[in-house]
Chain A
Amino acid sequence: MSDAQSLIELIPRLRRYARALVGDRATADDLVQDTLERAWSKLHLYRQGTDLRAWLFTVMHNVHVNRMRASRPSDPLDDEMPELAQRATQGDSLLVRDLERGIAALPLAQREVLLLVALEDLSYDETARALGIPIGTVMSRLARAREKLRLLLHGKGGTKLQVVK
C-alpha cells in the first residue's frame, strides 16, 4: 500500500523534473510514465529505507538515456551534446523563456546535475548517487552548467538577469 501511495505522491515532483529536463509536456509525461512502469518492474532493486525519490531519479535517468540512445543511436551521450527541447512559450516572462531556452541548450549531463541540485534540491552526494557519477563530477558539471547558462543569458544584449539578493 505504501509503495503505490508514495509513488503517486511523488508524481508531481517527477513531472516537474521531467518537464525541465525535456521541455515539452507530452514528452515529459511519457518519460514519467515509462519511469513509473520501469520502477515497478525494478522495485526489487530498490532498497527500502533509502530515498525513494532519489532512486526514481536514477530510474528516470536510465530510461531517458535509453530513449535517447534508441532515437539517435549514432550520437554519443557525452558532455557536449546539447539536446534542444521546445515548448509553447506564450505568456511566459522574457526571463523565464530565456532560462528555459538556456536549460534546453545545455548538454544533457550538465542539465541533469543542475536540475537535480537547483530544482529538486538533492544534496551533491544524492545527485552523485542518483546519476552514478563521482561527486567531483557533480561539482564540475554544476559549475560548467551555470557558467554556460550565465553566458547564454547575459551574453546577448537585451535581457539582463535581475540579481536577486
Chain B
Amino acid sequence: MSDKPAISEAELQAWADGRLDEGRRAELEAWYAAHPEEAERAAAYRSFNELLRASYDPVLEEPVPPRLERAAQRGSRLRSIALVAGWVALGIAVGTIAGWQLHALQTPPQATRAEAPVIARRAALAHATYSPEVRHPVEVGADQEEHLVAWLSKRLGGEVRAPKLDAEGMALVGGRLLPRDPGPVAQFMYQNVQGRRVTLYVRTEGLDQRETAFRFAREGNVRVFYWIDRKFGYALSSADLERDELLKIANVVYRQLNP
C-alpha cells in the first residue's frame, strides 16, 4: 500500500509478539486504526501466539515420563562437566595458555572415544560366544554368587559387583572370567523368564580414565551400551532385547554401581 508508513515487516511481527517499544507501538496502532484490513491481519498473527499457548501449555502439566528423567540425570558426572565448563570460562579469560590447558583437559574423552568401540566389540563378541550356551553359559553359577563376586574382584584387582536386576525381570545366571590383554575381564550373565539374556562386561581401565556418557553400538545382532566410570569400563550387551529395553537396564546398572 502506498500510504503505508515506514513500518517494516519485522516491526509488524514484533507488534504481534508484543515486543515493540511503547512509542512505536502507538504509531503502529494509529496506522492500523485507519487500515482495518492490515489491522485484522496483525491481530490474527497475535492471536496465533495465544492459541499456541492454549494448545500446548497443557503439556507443561503432564507428568514427565521416567525415561526422560533418567535421560536428564544420566551424566551425573557433573563435577567433571563443571570443571570443563570452568576451564572454558578460564580459557577465554586468560588466553592462550589456559586455552591450551583446556585443550589438554578435553583430550581424554576423545581418547576414550577412540578406545571405546574396542570394549563394545569385545563385549558383543563375548556375548555372542556365551549367551547361546545352554549347558555352560557361566563358569560360576548364581547359587555361588558371593564366591563369584569375590573371585572376580580378586582377579580384576578392584571391587566388582553384580547388579541386582530382579526388578527388571532379569535374574543372575552367573559369571565368568575372560582373558584380555593386559588384564582380565568379568562377564555377568542375566536371563529373564522368556530366556532372553543380557551380559555385563566389566574390565579395568587404565590410570584415571575419565567417565563417559552412555554410548551405543551395534555389532551384528548384538546391541551394546557401554560407558566408563572411574576404574572400570562397562558394556551391557544383548541380542534379545531392543535398544530401549537395554538402555533401561543400563540405567539401572549404572545407578546401582554408583550409589
Closest residue of chain B to A163, judged by CB? B43
Instruction: Confirm or deny: B78 has a beta carbon within 8 angstroms of a beta carbon on chain A.
Output: yes
A32 CA / B66 CA spacing, docked (Å): 12
| Chain A: minimal CB distance from B166 (Å) | 25
Whether A7 lies near B84 (C-beta < 8 A) is: no
A1 CA / B73 CA spacing, docked (Å): 9
- 0/1 per residue, A1-24, Cβ < 8 Å to B? 111100110111101100110000
- 0/1 per residue, B25-49, Cβ < 8 Å to A? 0000000000000001101111111
Q: Which of chain A's residues have a CB closer than 8 A to the CB of B81?
A: 3, 43-44
Total chain B interface residues with beta-carbon distance under 8 A: 53
A100 CA / B82 CA spacing, docked (Å): 40
Total chain A interface residues with beta-carbon distance under 8 A: 54
Instruction: Confirm or deny: B7 has a beta carbon within 8 angstroms of a beta carbon on chain A.
Output: no
Instruction: Confirm or deny: B159 has a beta carbon within 8 angstroms of a beta carbon on chain A.
Output: no
Instruction: Confirm or deny: B54 has a beta carbon within 8 angstroms of a beta carbon on chain A.
Output: yes
Whether A143 lies near B9 (C-beta < 8 A) is: yes
Q: Which of A12, A16, A37 contacts B214 (CB 8 A)?
A: A37
| Chain A: minimal CB distance from B13 (Å) | 5
Instruction: Confirm or deny: B104 has a beta carbon within 8 angstroms of a beta carbon on chain A.
Output: no
Query: In this complex, which of B50, B59, B74, B82 has the most chain A Cβ atoms within 10 angstroms of its Cβ?
Result: B59
A102 CA / B61 CA spacing, docked (Å): 24
Whether B60 lies near A12 (C-beta < 8 A) is: yes
Q: Which of chain A's residues have a CB closer than 8 A to the CB of B41?
A: 150
| Chain A: minimal CB distance from B120 (Å) | 15
Instruction: Confirm or deny: B101 has a beta carbon within 8 angstroms of a beta carbon on chain A.
Output: no
Asked whether A139 and B9 contact (CB < 8 A) given A15-B62, A44-B81, the answer is: yes
Q: Which of A8, A16, A124 contacts B60 (CB 8 A)?
A: A16
Instruction: Confirm or deny: B134 has a beta carbon within 8 angstroms of a beta carbon on chain A.
Output: no
Residues 10-28 of B contacting A (Cβ, < 8 Å) = 10, 12-14, 16-17, 19
Q: Which of chain B's residues have a CB closer than 8 A to the CB of A100?
A: 55
- 0/1 per residue, A132-156, Cβ < 8 Å to B? 0000000110110010011001100
A115 CA / B81 CA spacing, docked (Å): 30
Q: Which of B49, B72, B78 contacts A8 (CB 8 A)?
A: B72
A103 CA / B82 CA spacing, docked (Å): 38
Whether B89 lies near A49 (C-beta < 8 A) is: yes
Asked whether A142 and B13 contact (CB < 8 A) given A1-B78, A36-B74, the answer is: yes
Q: List 26 A-B contacts (CB under 8 A).
A: A2-B78, A4-B72, A7-B73, A8-B69, A8-B72, A12-B59, A15-B60, A15-B64, A29-B68, A33-B67, A40-B74, A41-B213, A43-B75, A43-B85, A44-B106, A47-B85, A48-B89, A96-B55, A99-B48, A99-B52, A99-B55, A117-B17, A119-B56, A150-B45, A150-B48, A163-B40
> Footprint of B on A, CB under 8 Å?
1-4, 7-8, 10-13, 15-16, 19-20, 29, 32-33, 36-37, 40-41, 43-44, 46-49, 92, 95-96, 99-100, 103, 114-115, 117-119, 123-124, 139-140, 142-143, 146, 149-150, 153-154, 161-165
